[in-house]
Structures are given as C-alpha cells and as structure tokens.
Structure 1
C-alpha cells in the first residue's frame, strides 16, 4: 500500500496538464476563483478513474481513430486554456479572459487528458496490495489517490495564486501569465511528440 501511495505521489506531482493549469488559473485569477476549476479537475479525474476501472477506457482507446481524436482535442483545449491564462484580465489579441474557467472546464480537461488515462491505468492495473479482495483494493486505491490528489492540486493552485497576490506591476503579472501559458504549451508539445512516438 505504501508503494502504491508513493507511485501516486510521484505520478501526480509531476507537471502535467492538470497541475500546470491549476497553477495557471491561480496565477491568472487568484485562489478562490481557481477553486471551481480545481473542483472540475477533481470530478474529471475520478470520472476517468471510473472509466479505467470499468474497462470502458480500454475498449474506447483501443480504436486508433478515437486515440487520434482524443489527442487532437487535448492539444486544442490545452492551447485554448493557455491562451485564457496568457491573456487573463487583458484585451490583448483575440481573447478577453476576465472570467475564470469553471467546473466544466476542469472536467473537460481531464476527460481529454491523455496523462489522466495513463496514470489511472498504471495505478489501477499495477501495484496490487490486496489481490484476494479486488473490491477492497480498488476502493482503497480511490481513497488513497484522492487523499494525495487533493492537496497536490490545491498546493499548485495556491502557488499560482501566491504569484497573483504579489504586489507587482501589471506588466510583471502579464509576464507571469505568459510563463504559465508557455509551460502548458511545452506540455502540449510533449504530448504531440509522445503521440507521434507511439504510432
């Protein structure tokens, strides 16, 4: 069980679309507005976990076309969120992003997030600690994952919100938002490269 908990910690804490977007929302909009988005990430993460546990994800993702569509949707949505973060509170370019993305934005990100499926598949398919009682093991894994997931994502949101609260110039905030958005675009590039390497 401790090995499983350690695996959860290291797989979730590493920068991916969920934690980076949580930090970006905190930086762009502050802690309280970002909480609704993190709630959506939480609900979406558990929804992905349930599709992996039930086997639905394995069936759906075994179709190559669906994997390509999922990857394309993920890249497009992450790029959109990066733009929302980059232009938060400004009227720059094509987007005015005064209102933070809410619960549904977080749910949608997790549903199309390839890392969410990979992490859940790794954790639920491996690290058996009660093979004689699969129902108990699955329930325990869900509890452990959520007990680790919640503080990590709130921590990333808080870290981003700490930048938001700093008494820095508007130009400084804009640079921080650009940096957060650029970090998300790096994740997008890595996702594209990963997808190309598996084909």
Structure 2
C-alpha cells in the first residue's frame, strides 16, 4: 500500500497539463477561480479513474489503429503545450486565457488529458496490495489516490498564486518557463519510450 501511495505522489506531482493549468489558473485568476477549476479537475480525474477501472479505456485501446491515433494525438498535445510554455517569453506562462475555465473546463481537460489516463492505468493495473480482495483494493486505491491528489493540486494552485505575486525578474520568469517545458517534454519522451 505504501508503494502505491508513493507512486501516486510521484506520478501526480510531476508537471502535466492538470497541475500546470492549475497553477496557471491560480496565477491568472486567483484563489476562487482556482478552487472552482480544481473541483472540475477532481471530477474529471475520477471520471477517468472509473473509465480505467471499468475497462472502457482498455476496450477503446484494444483496437491497434485507434491506440496509435490516440497516442499520436496525446504526444502532439503534450508537445504543443510544452512549446507554448517554452516560447512564452519572459512572462510566466502557465496559462493564457481571458476568463477562468471553471468547473466544466477542469472536467474537460482531464477527459482529454493523456497523462491522466496513463497515470491511472499504471496505478490501477499495477501496485497490487490486496490480491485476495480486489474490490477492497480498488476502493482503497480510489481513497488513497484522491487523498494525495487533492493536496497536490491545491499546492500547485498556491504556487501559481504565489509566483504571480512575486513579480519576478524577466530572466527568472523565462527560466521557469523553460524548466516547465522541459518537464513536459520529459513526460512526452517517457510516454514515447514506453510505447517502444
């Protein structure tokens, strides 16, 4: 169970569309809008969890052609996101929008977020700790994953709010963008490597 909890922590805390956009909403729109967005991400994440556990995701990915198309689209999306962040200039560029995305925006992002599917598939298909009671194991995994997911996303939200208030020098803001983009590209590289 501790191995599962550690895997949840490290897989969720790494930069991906969910946590980066959470920090971005906090930076751009503040705490209230950020909380609404995190609620949407939470709902979307649990919808992805249900799709993974119920086998819906596996059924869709059983078709080799569909799997290749979805994989290519996921890689393209993550690469696009990384490039937007890297070339945003000297302004910290977690996200750029004129209005906060809200609950529906959070749900939508998680439903198309390739990292959400990859992470949840890895977590729920591996790291078994109660082989004699699979139902209880799945329930415990849901509880543990959510208990770790919530504070991590609230932490990224607080980070976004804090970074924006700091009014950092342009050079530092640019370095943050490049580091975030490099993290995203690492996710892309790991996903591509896993498919080989």
Give the TM-score range, shorter chain. Answer: 0.7 to 0.9
Aligned-partner Cα distance in 1 for 2:82–2:106: 10
Q: What is the count of residue pairs matched by the alignment? A: 187
Q: Which residue of 1 aligns with 2:112?
A: 112
Aligned-partner Cα distance in 2 for 1:183–1:63: 36
Q: Which residue of 2 aligns with 1:99?
A: 99
Query: In the alignment, does 2:42 pair up with 1:33?
Result: no
Q: Which residue of 1 aligns with 2:45?
A: 45
Aligned-partner Cα distance in 2 for 1:43–1:81: 25
Is the alpha carbon distance of 1:34 and 1:71 closer, same or farther for their aligned partners in structure 2, counting shifts above 3 Å?
Answer: farther
Query: In the alignment, does 2:38 pair up with 1:16?
Result: no
Shift of residue 98 of structure 1? 2.2
Do the aligned partners of 2:48 and 2:117 also contact (CA within 8 Å) in 1?
yes
Q: Which residue of 2 aligns with 1:2?
A: 2
TM-score (norm 1): 0.76
Q: Which residue of 1 aligns with 2:58?
A: 58
For structure 1, which runs of at least 5 residues remain unmatched after alignment?
Answer: 87-95
Aligned-partner Cα distance in 2 for 1:34–1:53: 28
Q: Which residue of 1 aligns with 2:92?
A: none
| Matched residue SS, 1:130 | coil
For structure 2, which runs of at least 5 residues remain unmatched after alignment?
Answer: 89-95
Aligned-partner Cα distance in 2 for 1:27–1:20: 10
Shift of residue 70 of structure 1? 3.2
Aligned-partner Cα distance in 1 for 2:192–2:137: 35
Q: Which residue of 1 aligns with 2:149?
A: 149
Q: Map residues 111-130 of structure 1 onto 2, 5 A cutoff.
A: 111-130=111-130
Do the aligned partners of 2:15 and 2:184 also contact (CA within 8 Å) in 1?
no
Shift of residue 131 of structure 1? 1.3
